[in-house]
Structure 1
């Protein structure tokens, strides 16, 4: 009889622990939704062109804006790609034209570009074709590196366009003297 009582107590403890964990998960989920809503309010006016790129959500746009900061500090998209670690590095020791992965750079921006690329390949035919067209020559990883490099150009152009729009808005808000 004692084993039956202990089993019932164990079930009650397990039920209580699971309910506590579910309550904590729910609280965290509500907090995530709240943070994403607030981020959307902050990011949408700053980066409409960036948010217009397929695969760039509010969180990745916030990461890109916070990490890149003033995009005009990069003279070209190639310089931003190099800083982000998405520009391939040429290997001169082999007898053929070959590039290797750049392991340096800003890992958060590189991760954002990678995630954007994965979403685009999954959902968009142009990105899928881009990767397929390069897979035979570069392999799958090389094709994704090329896509990341291309996305660095796209993101750079969108961020420059957003900065130009913000600059015009700031100029129009200043009173005439």
Structure 2
């Protein structure tokens, strides 16, 4: 993101944040060091810190780690009317030259605010997006743990007694989990068969518990996304989990993202200049928010499979000589432009002409038709009618036929 434009008139402070203490350094508008003080990370310490800033007439503060160790002090400063910017930690070159300590880092943070380089507006963590972030982190961890349990179950089966291995190895994962959770091993654990089955049943039962908790969190995340920005789930291929990742990445105050290019850079989609001398080229951006980048990747995969326009684009670009990776990078950049309009500018999703997905269900119910009856008339599977009504798949030709049928029925 481009650096915010600063008009400094007076003293500036920088804060180096840690678990137990925050160190504050104050400099003049010319960079001269005036004062340094350390405060505890408690409510009383935060008030002492603001009193220290007030005594020196400081209004602009640069905070290191506004979304980690500095999250609480950032909220406190904003609540008390300070203009807060997030600063980067000192580079290795600066640490080798000036050393590494809390006062030195705080002084570097204050002087970085003066330069206006690599500054960003911190995320607002006082609204529902912060709740969504907590739910999303928990859900991701549960999913990862459940996946590790499946891997562990299959690993134990490799070295299990032969009759246990032969019975369970050929099963698919869902069948394996369901069968193991219902098995009844004997209490005689001196037999390796019973010890193995007891372990496998424990892992399978734990897996089922985690999956149930994940499903519960999915429902809560879906409800919260609808409260924060319901238009996000109207973007083709962007269901609630993907939308949650993108919303959390931008934060409660999406207007801090100043342009489409800034959003692309935040999500690691914008190419990076890699030119020197006679070489003029770009390279892949391996930075940015990788969780958001993964959400964009999933959206691209959905569109490449189910969106006719995207499939046509892929075919055209393939004929032009682009590889699949290059095409997917182009698609990610195009999706960022679409999401920027919805997430950062608050504009509705551009709907194609004709009925919206939710209007199909209402019109069908009004005419007293079931999905099965409609599918039989159109010569397709009922699941395709459901896909159109939920917006899961675009199915442009079938959607047009379905719309004509409903209007004429």
Q: Which residue of 2 aligns with 1:153?
A: 337
What CA RMSD, in Å, does the superposition of the two structures yield over aligned residues?
A: 2.6
Q: Which residue of 2 aligns with 1:48?
A: 230
Alpha-carbon separation, structure 2, partners of 1:120 and 1:95 = 38
Q: Give the TM-score taking structure 2 as reference length.
A: 0.36
Alpha-carbon separation, structure 2, partners of 1:162 and 1:38 = 23
The answer on 1:15 being equivalent to 2:203 is: no
Matched position secondary structure for 1:138: coil
User: Could you tell me whether the CA contact under 8 Å between 1:90 and 1:100 is conserved in 2?
Assistant: yes
Q: 1:161 to 1:10 in 2, by over 3 A?
A: same
- Post-superposition Cα deviations, 1:9-41, rounded to whole Å, max 9, x if no partner, equal 222222212211111011001000011111111
Q: Point out the more displaced range, 73-82 or 26-35.
A: 73-82
| Larger proportion of strand | 2
Higher relative contact order (CA 8 A, sep 6+): 1
| Larger proportion of helix | 1
- Post-superposition Cα deviations, 1:108-154, rounded to whole Å, max 9, x if no partner, equal 22121111111211221222222222233432211111001111111
Instruction: Point out where structure 2 has 5 or more consecutive residues left out of the alignment.
Output: 1-187, 349-409
Alpha-carbon separation, structure 2, partners of 1:95 and 1:119 = 40
The answer on 1:129 being equivalent to 2:312 is: yes
Aligned length: 159
Q: Which residue of 1 aligns with 2:270?
A: 87
Return the match for 2:256 from 70, 73, 77. 73
Q: 1:117 to 1:96 in 2, by over 3 A?
A: farther
Alpha-carbon separation, structure 2, partners of 1:161 and 1:34 = 31
Q: Which residue of 2 aligns with 1:144?
A: 328
Query: Which of structures 1 and 2 has the bigger CA Rg?
Result: 2
